[in-house]
Structure 1
Amino acid sequence: MHWTGAFVLLLFAVLVTGILLTLLHLTRLGKLVHEGIPDRPRRRMFLAALSFFVTFAGVRLLVRCITHHVGPFGWVMMGGRHIHHLVWGIFILLAVGYAWMAEWGSGTSAVSIFWSRFFAILYGVGAALTLDEFALWLNLANDYWSPQGRESIDAVILFGALLAAGAWGAPLFRRRQKKGSAPQ
């Protein structure tokens, strides 16, 4: 059986989302995240950052397997044209953007909190799929493994750092100010 990259990416995104949501709702880890990251926007940033890095690693592994003919994986082809995974990332980002503009997941009910977390995870997945091929945006060529492909890694590091700073940066700075003595 030959699995296309799209099927594998879809399966991977569903698994990442399902595992993260299960861990957040049904385990002690979810309680720790809720207590450790007390406000909702930072929890969404945390989930987006986590799913972003997991998806980036998974996509890099999948592309490596495809290019080295490891496993039953293959490129997504339509009419003889290779459909890059940044296309799927853009679709996901558009869907999440629409959901957030429609304020889905902005309430305080358990269902609303679930959707808030779900969309945060999908945002991380979509951003990783899109930024993993950032060099393709700039060069309009498939430079995945060339020196120009390094631009994608740089974009991932910068955006991942932004997500991580949003989740952890401000609380860390506030704690430091509270512990230190006030300037006189």
Structure 2
Amino acid sequence: MHRGRRVTPVDSLPGVPLFRDCGGAVGSWFSTEIVAAGKLRLFCFFVSFIATFLFIRISVRLIRAQVRWWPGNVAPGGMHIHHVVFGLVFMCVGGISGLAVEDNTSASAGLLAALFGSGTSLVLDEFALVLHLDDVYWTQQGRLSVDAVFVAVALCGLALLGASPLELGDALNPGADGKVLSRTEIALIVGTNTLLSLISLAKGKIWTGLLGIYITPLALIGAVRLARPGSPWARRRYRPGSRRLRRAEWREKRIRDPIERVKIGFQNFVAGRPSAKP
């Protein structure tokens, strides 16, 4: 249950009148739900992150298809510079400069957050390359980068919708009666959420475990249900040939595999299909 929160008057924020004048109902919604709610940086980060991912994936697919009119790779002196390098530069400039901006409703705050989001997207799009220290972009191993981007979009989207990691938002803010939870109660809430999420991850349920950081009931579901075959939890607790392991393998084949095929199909549509050969 969400507890009451103190709300800052909308018109008292310096950036709100500027955004409110930008477009009627849309401008009013943006100024109230985004700017006044203190979510301008997060919103700009989120939009820039997605836009950059879509742009870079279109770019690399055009390069892969050897489209003549597209500029192609950046390769000064014959050395291919991966876009993770540009991402790191954008993250440094956007992140460090953003720390110097005190007004989080200003245009500067939004632009620097967008630059940071763009850099983060470029880095995560080559996450598998950095992890393996090898150019696995178009291999099956490279699919890990797409998974990382999708997880980041989901977590950022939840934060933008007001979800609080580990229930910290509800735990630290005063309730409607003005009372604040004790340290013991806060530790219990955060500890329970963290434990459930870790159990879900140990059971091989990556999405459930990560999203459960924001949505505690989801972490609870992942923690109490059967582990995936091959997960650390299954290897330690499910004996070979046991009933639990057979049920887990049945669920993997009959339920998870079809869902996984749909997910992979969508990823291939958005990001491109990996090569058949490494």
Q: TM-score, normalised to structure 1's length?
A: 0.70
Residue 143 (str. 1) matches residue 140 (str. 2): no
Measured after TM superposition, the shift of residue 132 of structure 1 is 0.5
Counterpart contact for 2:128–2:136, Cα < 8 Å: yes
Counterpart contact for 1:44–1:117, Cα < 8 Å: yes
Query: Counterparts of 1:68 and 1:35 in 2: how far apart (Å)?
Result: 45
Counterpart contact for 1:55–1:125, Cα < 8 Å: yes
Query: Counterparts of 1:31 and 1:130 in 2: how far apart (Å)?
Result: 34
**CA RMSD for the aligned pairs?**
2.5
Measured after TM superposition, the shift of residue 169 of structure 1 is 3.4
Q: 1:165 aligns with which of 142, 155, 158?
A: 158
Written as runs of structure 1 = structure 2, the 5 A alignment for 1:34-183 is 34-37=31-34, 38-40=36-38, 42-70=39-67, 71-101=69-99, 103-104=100-101, 106-107=102-103, 113-170=106-163
Task: Give deviations 1:139-163, integer Å, cap 9, x for gaps.
Answer: 1121111101111011111222221
Larger helix fraction of residues: 1
Distance 1:118 1:25, change over 3 A: farther
**Residue in 1 that maps onto 2:209:** none
Larger strand fraction of residues: 1
One-letter amino acid of the counterpart of residue 57, structure 2:
R
5+ long unaligned stretches in structure 2: 1-18, 170-175, 177-278
Measured after TM superposition, the shift of residue 33 of structure 1 is 1.6
- Which fold has the larger relative contact order, with Cα–Cα distance below 8 Å and residues 6 or more apart in sequence? 1
One-letter amino acid of the counterpart of residue 88, structure 2:
I
Measured after TM superposition, the shift of residue 84 of structure 1 is 0.5
Moved more, 90-99 or 67-76: 67-76
Q: Percent identity?
A: 34
Moved more, 154-163 or 89-98: 154-163
5+ long unaligned stretches in structure 1: 1-22, 179-184
Distance 1:141 1:115, change over 3 A: same
Question: Secondary structure, in 3 states, of the residue corresponding to 1:73?
Answer: coil
Question: Secondary structure, in 3 states, of the residue corresponding to 2:84?
Answer: helix
Question: Secondary structure, in 3 states, of the residue corresponding to 1:148?
Answer: coil
One-letter amino acid of the counterpart of residue 23, structure 2:
T
One-letter amino acid of the counterpart of residue 158, structure 1:
V
Query: Counterparts of 2:157 and 2:78 in 1: how far apart (Å)?
Result: 39
